[in-house]
Structure 1
Amino acid sequence: MDNPFIKYSKTSDYVIGDLKKLSSSYIPDNFPHRERQINEIAKILSSIINGGIASNILIYGKSGSGKTSSTLYVTSMLSEAVSGNLNSIYINCEIYDSQYSILINIINSINIGETQVPSLGLPLDRVYFELIRRLKKSGKYTIIILDEIDKLIQKNGSDALYVILKVISEVNASIIGITNDSSFVNRLDARVQSRLNQESIIFPPYNAIELRDILNFRVSGIIKREFIDDSAINLCAALGAQEHGDARKSIDLLRIAIENALREGRDLVTADDVYRARDKFEMNILKESIKTLPIHSKMVLLSAALTQETDSDLTVTGEIYENYKNISTELGFQPLTMRRISDLLTDLEDLGLLSTNTRSLGRYGRTKFIRVMGSIENIKSYIMEDPAFINFQGSKIVKQTKLRTNFDSYFDGLNENNNK
């Protein structure tokens, strides 16, 4: 068999630059429509240049509004301005979500020629004092960038942030927190709020015109402009604007459309290519979201899908839990408690895989109805790709006959009243 990659190895005349720069994770050297926010960050951090201490900063904005990339750009420019005399440490709190893991990560990011600290097994107080020692030994100003900082608070409360703030009070350091939660500060306790003493910067969502400018800037010097129809650029911008001004989505859609056209040897990227890219993009996001779920979350999602298939009107927490227990038992797992499953349902809702709606059934009380988002068949097939489900035969699906009776009685009563 011939090497299947040979046919893709030809260089297109339309490519005049590095295609990697079309990635949404690439940090460019210019940020259209974010000049004001970048200057605000730089102004706050400018005191570092003169040997002062910068205020802590909280940066707010929706996903894809340029918060993280702008912050990384400014700190890289600051490092250049102070001749590298800066520790700029980026931490994603979605990944490192405890005070211990964050402190260890900061320690191991300080390059002073000492051995790495193990990620487990040390007392927290030892880690705390080791971090302070290394920061002082480095002799550099330190900026700790905490992306998704609200995730840290959701899991650990205010204590984790309090410890980090205590560290920076001992050395020359500042925090930049990045979040899409506009009420973040209000959820901190008073002692943390007083220590944080932050300046805030808001990144508003991009509109379609701004996204179009960003896309034109991104392809400039990489792809010959005649290879991309204006309709493709405009559609990518419009779709991103619909998603709360998400530049990341617009860039990824255009990148996928361009790559597909190049692979197929076509001469023009059109709006049709963008629509096909959107279908592929959204399908991959759903699959990847499900693929990375913990095993019990997958069982809960499968239970919700099977329950909804059985009776779409009565997909409720109790019914999902009963079916989840049957699934976990069939697969050889110990079922979690009802309370823990309620937490997992909330997590699945946060991921956009489920939606909930609490409704009153009159004298029968209030009930939370749950719906699976997207194609149930696709969701089931993605879950079944996990080897843990290879022996799943289809557990007995429970129907809550009492709830169905109450549900029907309530609406029969409403109909009777309406007919009088």
Structure 2
Amino acid sequence: MVVSIMRSYGVLMNPFDKYETQNIALKGDLSILSVIHQPEEFPHREPQINTMVASLSGLIRGFSANNLLIYGKTGTGKTSVTKYVTGMLEEKVGDKVITCYVNCQTYDSPYSILVNLSKCIPGDSNIPPSGWTLDRIYDELVIKIKGSGKILILILDEIDKLVEKNGGDSLYVILKLMGEDTGAGGTIIGITNDSSFYERLDPRVKSRMSRESVMFSPYNAEELKDILYPRVTKVLNPESYDEAAISLCAAIGAREHGDARKAIDLMRISIEMAIRESSDKVSVSHVYKARDTLEIDVIRETVKTQPTHSKIVLLSVILSGERHPNSATTGEVSSLYADLCRDIGIQPLTSRRVSDYISELEDFGMINTTVKSLGRYGRTRYIKITGRENDIKRFILEDTELEPLKDIKGTRQFRLDENI
């Protein structure tokens, strides 16, 4: 296909010509400021690294290791640090250890996880992508793991998604396979941003888990600067950026629950903005432009990846807020959520699960909640959308299952505090 061209003063020009040159002097690949880049150093994560190394250290002497549960909000380095630590372990012991990484957001059934585990183990795999019973694939894997003579480390990223969709039995099957009673042996590292994940497991699964926990706290602005600065100096020459631009990216990331991904993405897009404008230097103005571009994309992706019930809860908050601009109560949101579920023919979840979804949406930064006392009427939780309501509502209704709700408005409900 011939590239479209345009005519300017009688001369044929390629529209991409204006991007051929750049004023900013790049000395490194911009992929260093990509979230998929695996850094060699992890500032301010030494305590977590030391804990994980100590827990897995028995493997270098041929002993078993406890399972690990890694907690922390999005962008706190959980996955990157886990891959770094297991990579260092493989470097130490050679091929005695096999690490298998599975994202449970993508592979959210025990069958698909076991198929991926089989692919990680050397040798031919007779296990098809579907069609076998779970018992059969389980028995086949036990034989394969024993025959490999390797110690397995199975990383289950977003492990809460597996249990949320399939129940605790799905995790129990995997824990049993990796346990010593099969003779196979192995260690599971579960990664989650749900701080209550372990507490919600049933006793059988907890007894199998035998875990150590590692908490990744959110980064503050100074810590994010320490993360950004080495990457920026590998990409740009000193004269090509303002220090204030790095500080602003770090500050914005710190406001977003200490999210390093947000800060890194923001810095990369700021550089791209400066290049497009043929600027000599990345400035705070480029950061503000990048923030506006990034926020809308992040909001869409965050909404898009939410489960259906979470989207309905979020829509309920928006509709309730249309009637109560100061914020909606949990009771109002729960009541409207149940009505919306019935409108599209699905079974509403319990009030407790709705409350869990509200907490998760707050973790994602989609809503804010505050608890207020109503005197003799007790205490209640107020909920408010933190982002662009119209955009969030539009992204929710892009889900074809929820399209029938596009014309529904929030209903006025009696509120105790209105008469206090």
3-state SS of paired residue (2:268) = helix
C-alpha deviation, 1:246, in angstroms: 2.2
Once structures 1 and 2 are overlaid, which stretch shifts more, 11-20 or 300-309?
300-309
Provide the rounded CA distance (Å) in 1 between the counterparts of 2:154 and 2:222. Answer: 33
Provide the rounded CA distance (Å) in 2 between the counterparts of 1:60 and 1:349. Answer: 15
Matching residue's letter, 2:272: E
Out of 227, 233, 237, which is 1:220 matched to? 233
User: 1:285 — aligned with what?
Assistant: 298
User: 2:176 — aligned with what?
Assistant: 166
User: 2:244 — aligned with what?
Assistant: 231
Are the aligned partners of 1:211 and 1:237 in contact in 2 as well (CA < 8 Å)? Answer: yes
Taking a change above 3 Å as real, the CA distance of residues 90 and 277 of structure 1, as seen in their structure-2 partners, is: same
Provide the rounded CA distance (Å) in 2 between the counterparts of 1:54 and 1:350. Answer: 31
Taking a change above 3 Å as real, the CA distance of residues 52 and 12 of structure 1, as seen in their structure-2 partners, is: farther
Taking a change above 3 Å as real, the CA distance of residues 178 and 298 of structure 1, as seen in their structure-2 partners, is: closer
Out of 318, 321, 335, which is 1:318 matched to? 335
Q: 1:9-408 residue pairs with structure 2 within 5 A? A: 9-10=20-21, 14-115=25-126, 117-118=128-129, 120-168=130-178, 169=180, 170-292=183-305, 305-306=318-319, 308-309=321-322, 312=325, 316-319=333-336, 321-322=338-339, 328=344, 335-339=345-349, 347=357, 350-352=360-362, 353=366, 371-383=384-396, 394=407, 397=409, 399=411, 403-404=413-414, 407=415
Provide the rounded CA distance (Å) in 1 between the counterparts of 2:189 and 2:401. Answer: 41
Between the two proteins, the alignment pairs up a number of residues equal to: 399
3-state SS of paired residue (2:235) = coil
Taking a change above 3 Å as real, the CA distance of residues 325 and 311 of structure 1, as seen in their structure-2 partners, is: farther
C-alpha deviation, 1:128, in angstroms: 1.0
C-alpha deviation, 1:94, in angstroms: 3.0
Taking a change above 3 Å as real, the CA distance of residues 304 and 206 of structure 1, as seen in their structure-2 partners, is: closer
Provide the rounded CA distance (Å) in 2 between the counterparts of 1:229 and 1:29. Answer: 25
Taking a change above 3 Å as real, the CA distance of residues 151 and 224 of structure 1, as seen in their structure-2 partners, is: same
Once structures 1 and 2 are overlaid, which stretch shifts more, 145-154 or 210-219?
145-154
Are the aligned partners of 1:300 and 1:345 in contact in 2 as well (CA < 8 Å)? Answer: no
Are the aligned partners of 2:313 and 2:354 in contact in 1 as well (CA < 8 Å)? Answer: yes
Taking a change above 3 Å as real, the CA distance of residues 243 and 323 of structure 1, as seen in their structure-2 partners, is: closer
Are the aligned partners of 1:323 and 1:398 in contact in 2 as well (CA < 8 Å)? Answer: no
TM-score by length of 1: 0.79
Tell me the alpha carbon deviations over residues 374-416 of structure 1, each in whole angstroms, 9 at most, x when there is no partner.
3332234435656778898835x4745xx44xx48x744x3xx
Q: What runs of 5+ residues in structure 2 fail to find an aligned partner?
A: 6-13
Once structures 1 and 2 are overlaid, which stretch shifts more, 67-76 or 307-316?
307-316
Provide the rounded CA distance (Å) in 1 between the counterparts of 2:96 and 2:135. Answer: 28
User: 2:11 — aligned with what?
Assistant: none
3-state SS of paired residue (2:100) = strand
Matching residue's letter, 1:57: L
C-alpha deviation, 1:20, in angstroms: 0.9
Taking a change above 3 Å as real, the CA distance of residues 13 and 286 of structure 1, as seen in their structure-2 partners, is: closer
C-alpha deviation, 1:194, in angstroms: 3.5
Provide the rounded CA distance (Å) in 1 between the counterparts of 2:347 and 2:202. Answer: 30
Taking a change above 3 Å as real, the CA distance of residues 138 and 384 of structure 1, as seen in their structure-2 partners, is: same
Taking a change above 3 Å as real, the CA distance of residues 355 and 204 of structure 1, as seen in their structure-2 partners, is: closer
Once structures 1 and 2 are overlaid, which stretch shifts more, 56-65 or 226-235?
56-65
Provide the rounded CA distance (Å) in 1 between the counterparts of 2:121 and 2:229. Answer: 38
Provide the rounded CA distance (Å) in 2 between the counterparts of 1:368 and 1:58. Answer: 30
Are the aligned partners of 1:16 and 1:224 in contact in 2 as well (CA < 8 Å)? Answer: yes
Provide the rounded CA distance (Å) in 2 between the counterparts of 1:297 and 1:244. Answer: 20
User: 1:332 — aligned with what?
Assistant: none
Once structures 1 and 2 are overlaid, which stretch shifts more, 134-143 or 315-324?
315-324
Once structures 1 and 2 are overlaid, which stretch shifts more, 276-285 or 316-325?
316-325
Taking a change above 3 Å as real, the CA distance of residues 394 and 165 of structure 1, as seen in their structure-2 partners, is: closer
3-state SS of paired residue (2:215) = strand
C-alpha deviation, 1:344, in angstroms: 6.8
3-state SS of paired residue (1:336) = coil
C-alpha deviation, 1:316, in angstroms: 4.1
Matching residue's letter, 1:318: S
Matching residue's letter, 1:138: S
3-state SS of paired residue (1:49) = helix
Matching residue's letter, 1:34: R
Matching residue's letter, 2:298: I
User: 2:18 — aligned with what?
Assistant: 7
TM-score by length of 2: 0.79
Taking a change above 3 Å as real, the CA distance of residues 369 and 140 of structure 1, as seen in their structure-2 partners, is: same
C-alpha deviation, 1:142, in angstroms: 0.9
Matching residue's letter, 1:146: L
Are the aligned partners of 2:24 and 2:280 in contact in 1 as well (CA < 8 Å)? Answer: no
Tell me the alpha carbon deviations over residues 146-186 of structure 1, each in whole angstroms, 9 at most, x when there is no partner.
22233334444433332222111231311122233444443
Are the aligned partners of 1:91 and 1:146 in contact in 2 as well (CA < 8 Å)? Answer: yes
3-state SS of paired residue (1:146) = strand
Provide the rounded CA distance (Å) in 2 between the counterparts of 1:92 and 1:212. Answer: 29
Taking a change above 3 Å as real, the CA distance of residues 165 and 398 of structure 1, as seen in their structure-2 partners, is: closer
Are the aligned partners of 1:108 and 1:116 in contact in 2 as well (CA < 8 Å)? Answer: no
